[in-house]
Amino acid sequence: MSNRRVVITGLGALTPIGNNVEELWAGFISGKNGANLITRFDTENFNTKFACEVKNFNVEEYLDRKEARRMDLYCQYAIATATMAMDDADFDLDAIDLERFGVIYGSGIGGMETFENQTTNFVKGGPRKISPFFIPMMISDIAAGQISIKFGLKGPNYATTSACATSTHAIADALFIIQRGSADLIVSGGAEASITPMAIGGFNSARALSTWNDRYKEASRPFDKDRNGFVMGDGSGTLILEELEHAKKRGAKIYAEIIGAGLTGDAFHVTAPAPEGEGAFRSMREALRDGGVNPEDVDYINAHGTSTTLNDINETKAIKKLFGEHAYKLAVSSTKSMTGHLLGATGAIESIACILAIQNSIIPPTINLDEPDPECDLNYTPKVAVERNIDYALTNTFGFGGHNSTLLFKKYSE
């Protein structure tokens, strides 16, 4: 394992429960619910009529109007949170080697809204009605490119796309690249804006979304016996990863240390998790091995916890298999109960949840957990945030295709 330590020195967040990191954290600890009826399109013919939308986003706080028109909403979100994180890290970019400052940033779906709008233009008016900006607006790598362009960052630059594991894979890659010495700083995270007709319709057809239209505030209910599907969310999360000595030299504020990542594949099914949470078990195990941490040292797990039947049971089984009796002593929660499922952005937002939980010694709750599934018998921090010292925290994300990723964060100390 590399001797180069990696710390988090900047954060940015745009979510259904807060449009910056401070609002997000206040939402987490108060149990704020981000679910509402969809406002972006007419849902009359849809089985699901609600989601967790970002609210009151003003792109002109981050981009001029002309630039914004040439970006899909997901990319606008990415630019917004990258700007927040860069400001938070308080860089003097003139004093930094920008060739060693990279961007690894993902989106699970990319420019879905752009794709739908341009398809409509094509159907109505033929190929001449397709925008010249269609392709660069739609592709899922463009957020990484746009962040690099905006800040002049010339280090490693690429995107990850692995469904719900997208942004945890991006952060894991950023960790590995800094550890091996190929960069000193990396902007990393993910963005998603997929509350669109085709996305909602597609997930409805796959029977993945909750259809509790008359009880939408209660619909995202991870680990509850009455859960019946996830709730779509959108937004973005950005982290600045920085080599420790580089951070100390410039007097950076340090939120936490990232010390391990576990990456595995289920090799089982395109949407269903491997039986008994076998892939999730190995992902968490590898993160602990990578960080040199024993299972009994972990205090908190921010679970993938999607509110789908198979995921919640299998993740619980994986935790119990890896942690044994300690599984009942550590705290678990799913912040998706509040934000909904942000797909490719979810890992970044939940990494921020872990980092702030460590820093503030507070476990965010799992709201809407009225009666746990009998097969989900851990401490999921129901309803109310709990004060607890946290030295080590894990976050899990598992994506369609059998992509599993776990990150391990540590309370920073010299």
User: pLDDT digit string (tens) for 169-180?
Assistant: 999 999 999 999
CA 122 to chain centre: 33
Selecting from 3.10.20.30, 3.40.50.300, 3.40.47.10, 3.40.190.10, what CATH number does the domain 261-410 have?
3.40.47.10
pLDDT interval class at 2 (50, 70, 90): low
Residue 402 has pLDDT above 90, yes or no: yes
**Catalytic annotation, residues:** 164, 304, 341
pLDDT interval class at 396 (50, 70, 90): very high
CA atoms of 197 and 264, how far apart (whole Å) = 32
Output the six-digit token pair for 38: 């969809």
pLDDT interval class at 3 (50, 70, 90): confident
- Break the chain down into helix, strand, coil percent, rounded to 5: 40, 20, 40
279-283: long-range pairs with CB below 8 Å, 24+: 279/398, 279/402, 279/404, 280/304, 280/314, 280/315, 280/318, 280/396, 280/398, 280/404, 280/406, 281/317, 281/318, 281/321, 281/322, 282/404, 283/396, 283/398, 283/404, 283/405, 283/406
Per the rule left: phi > 0, alpha: psi between -120 and 50, beta: everything else, 2 is: beta
The alpha helices in 131-227, defined as continuous H runs, are 134-138, 142-151, 166-179, 197-205
Q: How far is CA 153 from CA 5, 59, 64, 158, 185, in A?
A: 21, 22, 20, 12, 10
Strand ranges, E, within 68-121:
101-106
Rounded (5°) CA angle 324-325-330: 100
pLDDT (0 to 100) of residue 414: 83
3-state secondary structure of 397: strand
CATH class, domain 7-249, is alpha beta
User: pLDDT digit string (tens) for 321-371?
Assistant: 999 999 999 999 999 999 999 999 999 999 999 999 999 999 999 999 999
Q: With b meaning 16 or more CB within 10 Å and e meaning fewer, what string describes 33-53?
A: bbbeebeeeebeebbbbbbbb
Do the two domains 7-249 and 261-410 of this chain adopt the same fold?
yes
Burial of 270 (0-12, 13-18, 19+ CB in 10 A): exposed
Burial of 404 (0-12, 13-18, 19+ CB in 10 A): buried
CA 249 to chain centre: 30
Output the six-digit token pair for 218: 């209660």
Average pLDDT, the chain: 97
Closest CA to 16 of 390, 381, 406, 367: 367
User: With pLDDT > 90 as the criterion, what percentage of the chain qualifies?
Assistant: 97
Residue ranges covered by each domain of the chain:
7-249, 261-410
Task: Calculate mean pLDDT across residues 265-276.
Answer: 91
Task: Calculate mean pLDDT across residues 156-178.
Answer: 98
Torsion of CA 214, 220, 224, 226, to 10 degrees: 30
Residue 151 has pLDDT above 80, yes or no: yes
User: pLDDT digit string (tens) for 100-146?
Assistant: 999 999 999 999 999 999 999 999 999 999 999 999 999 999 999 99
Residue 1 has pLDDT above 50, yes or no: no
**Amino acid letter, residue 76:** Q
CA atoms of 269 and 289, how far apart (whole Å) = 26
pLDDT (0 to 100) of residue 115: 97
When mean pLDDT is compared across 135-149, 238-252, 262-276, the lowest value belongs to 262-276
Burial of 65 (0-12, 13-18, 19+ CB in 10 A): exposed
